[in-house]
Amino acid sequence: MSDRLTRDDVAKVAHLARLELTDAELDTYTEQLGAVLDHAADVAALDLADVPPTAHPLPLVNVLRDDVVAACLDREEVLAQAPAVEDGRFRVPAILGEEP
Amino acid sequence: MTLPTTATAIAAAVRAGEVSAREVVDAHLAAIEAGDASINAFNLVLADEARAAAAAVDAKVAAGEDPGPLAGVPVALKDNLCTRGVPTTCSSRILDGWRPPYDATVVERLAGAGAVAVGKTNLDEFAMGSSTENSAFGPTRNPRDPERVPGGSSGGSAAAVAAGFAPVSLGSDTGGSIRQPAALCGVIGVKPTYGLVSRYGLVAFASSLDQIGPFSTTVADSALLLEAVAGHDPLDSTSIDAPAPSLVDVLDRGVDGLRVGLVSELMGEGIAPDVAGRVRQAADALAAAGAEIGEVSVPAASYGLSAYYLIAPAEASSNLARYDGVRYGLRVDAPTTAEMNAATRTAGFGAEVKRRIMLGTYALSAGYYDAYYGKALKVRTLIVRDFEAAYERFDLLLSPTSPTTAFRFGEKVDDPLAMYLNDVCTIPTNLAGHPAMSVPFGAGADGMPVGVQLLAPALGEATMFRAAAALEAAAPPLEEAWS
């Protein structure tokens, strides 16, 4: 069953998740994730066409509150945790590839 | 006088002015100082903060004010619970240096009740694991045998209580991360009903499954701690809007007439014979105390593990997308933001977290969503239905907590599937959102503790705690190995 998950699949998923893998890691993860997915094959094989999904254990409803000003996190305290800030904002490297 | 050791006795003595919170806290800090170098239960010990908090409790007692129901009780906090201004690491390099700008609701409630936080405990990185071997700060050792794992992911919180570093602690349980380490360390561990305890300030792993709960050495202490942290919180939209249950007051009500079902799917293949033997012995003890024991089938439980290891990683892959080097924690510099994101995540996450993120990303990706994640959500429905049917016939269910006693370091860490199988008995309750707890019940053939699991329907904590008290009273001594 491991043939369902290929090395290329793992490389693609790693890219989507913004993880860089070495060649050796690609081999290891392909094997390990394949084993877990093999185990999950019993679920994938079930005929559950008439069963509704359960995404959450509670019947969830939107929780609203009155639109009044309440205490919130202190901006300076929050920004103090960031690797880089500028003018009260989070600073990041170039986003579109231009020189900063 | 000799200092009391349980949370219940400490709070009573401190409230009565018989001992000071400062003496109690100093004694526990000394125990940590003397013993934690070999256990590694703590990522951080809050000695100065704890002494200051204890002094504040003593000042209240001296002034004749109510110091709270947990007055002077030292408590250890799993290091995925946010503590304002105090490092919160999730045992991950990616949160390097982070000091949360707020307290978790449970942390606030404990402080309000007079409890004293003595430190932040080690865990499998982001609570992903069953042995506490996946920590960026090294593994925690089992106080009953340092060559063995304490279980996980809340291994530090379980070991801290088992070692006497704190009478009680808090952990989080997504697929068994409180109950399994409680079983392996020989202490009590409770996963409450989903929504009973606020998750505000619990660093998210799998949001539809995560729940905070207590560890303790006595059933009464877990009841006391859970009462203090449970209850509605407007800061958690999944918090149940109902009064917290009374637990301490029901412990002596006994189990006469309670119907308890032994889960047949969790008593056979894959369960060590000594563990299954202790569970049957526990059933006999409940019967002797007046409960009616029967066997019950929860057929979909067999699919729980597979469903969980699709659902939890899927939710994790989304929750952990926030660690991108922008707002907090580690940043590995690179010329562009996309490269910085990837370099930071690659350096900051350990192997198991990467595995789960990739597994979840795959299960949610186009072409596989229906076959994996979609199917897993439907299996979740089957599990809920099976439990509903079981609870029509029984008030509580009984099973092992973990298929084996504590295993040795390195035994399973390179075989993810073998590690995941540790959670086979605990996962179904998380998928259903129900409460369950592990109670120590004697030792296995290797002399290590065995935990039996009590399961209850949603908000069935009071009944569950009554049965736990009965098991506690009947538990065989840990010194006698199973034979």
Interface test with A, best of B194, B198, B306, B308 (most A CBs within 10 A): B306
Separation between Cα atoms, residue A92 and residue A69, nearest integer Å: 30
Judged by CB atoms closer than 8 Å, whether chains meet at A51 and B382 is answered as yes
Q: Let me know if residue A12 belongs to a domain.
A: yes
Cβ neighbors of B2 (< 8 A, separation 6 or more) are: none
Separation between Cα atoms, residue B127 and residue B124, nearest integer Å: 5
Q: Strands, E, within B224-311: which ranges?
A: 259-263, 292-296
**C-alpha Rg value of chain B to the nearest Å:** 21
Q: Let me know if residue A29 belongs to a domain.
A: yes
With beta carbons under 8 A apart, name residues in chain B contacting A5.
362
How many structural domains comprise chain A?
A: 1
- pLDDT given at position A55: 86
What DSSP state is assigned to residue B328?
A: S
What size, in residues, is chain B? 483
Interface test with A, best of B191, B237, B336, B356 (most A CBs within 10 A): B336
pLDDT interval class at A2 (50, 70, 90): very low
Q: Let me know if residue A11 belongs to a domain.
A: yes
Question: Rounded mean pLDDT of A48-58?
Answer: 90
Q: Let me know if residue B88 belongs to a domain.
A: yes
Host H or E run for residue B358: helix B351-364
Beta bridge partners of B120: B44, B77
Does the pLDDT value for residue A42 go beyond 50? yes
Q: Give the orientation angle of helix B47-62 with respect to helix B7-15, to 10 degrees.
A: 50
Full domain range(s) for residue B170: 7-236
Does the pLDDT value for residue A1 go beyond 50? no
Contact B141, B162 (CB under 8 A): no
Does the pLDDT value for residue A77 go beyond 60? yes
- One-letter amino acid at B427 equals I
CA distance from start to end of chain A: 48
Q: Let me know if residue B357 belongs to a domain.
A: no
Instruction: Report percent pLDDT > 90 for chain A.
Output: 65
Q: Let me know if residue A32 belongs to a domain.
A: yes
pLDDT interval class at A98 (50, 70, 90): low
- pLDDT given at position A60: 73
Tell me which chain B residue has its CA closest to the CA of residue A26.
B355
Tell me which chain B residue has its CA closest to the CA of residue A16.
B361
The model's pTM is 0.97
Task: Report residue B99 as tokens.
Answer: 């000091």
Q: Let me know if residue A22 belongs to a domain.
A: yes
Does the pLDDT value for residue A99 go beyond 60? no
Judged by CB atoms closer than 8 Å, whether chains meet at B361 and A77 is answered as no
Phi-psi region of B323 (alpha: psi -120 to 50; beta: other; left: phi over 0): beta
Give the torsion sign (CA, B438, B441, B442, B446): negative
- pLDDT given at position B196: 97
Q: Quickly list DSSP for B12-38.
A: HHHHTTSS-HHHHHHHHHHHHHHHHHH
Residue numbers in chain B where pLDDT is lower than 50: none
Q: Let me know if residue B383 belongs to a domain.
A: no
Contact B135, B141 (CB under 8 A): no
How many structural domains comprise chain B?
A: 1
Contact B390, B298 (CB under 8 A): yes
Q: Quickly list DSSP for B425-478.
A: TTHHHHHHT--EEEEEEEE-TTS-EEEEEEE-STT-HHHHHHHHHHHHHHPPPT
Name the more confident of B349 and A97.
Answer: B349
User: Sheet harboring B436-443: ordered strands across?
Assistant: B42-45, B116-121, B74-78, B168-173, B211-216, B188-191, B436-443, B449-455, B396-400, B259-263, B292-296
Separation between Cα atoms, residue B220 and residue B177, nearest integer Å: 21
Judged by CB atoms closer than 8 Å, whether chains meet at B379 and A19 is answered as no
Full domain range(s) for residue A16: 7-44
With beta carbons under 8 A apart, name residues in chain B contacting A18.
324, 338, 341-342, 345
Contact B131, B180 (CB under 8 A): no
CATH number for position A19: 1.10.20
Host H or E run for residue A39: helix A23-39
Give the residue numbers of B annotated as catalytic, written as ranges: 78, 153, 177
Judged by CB atoms closer than 8 Å, whether chains meet at A13 and B365 is answered as yes
CATH number for position B83: 3.90.1300.10
Q: Let me know if residue A51 belongs to a domain.
A: no
Task: Report residue B348 as tokens.
Answer: 């900051």
Q: Let me know if residue B71 belongs to a domain.
A: yes
CA distances from B249 to B231, B290, B444, B469, B472 (A): 17, 20, 32, 12, 16
Q: Let me know if residue A28 belongs to a domain.
A: yes
Tell me which chain A residue has its CA closest to the CA of residue B308.
A40
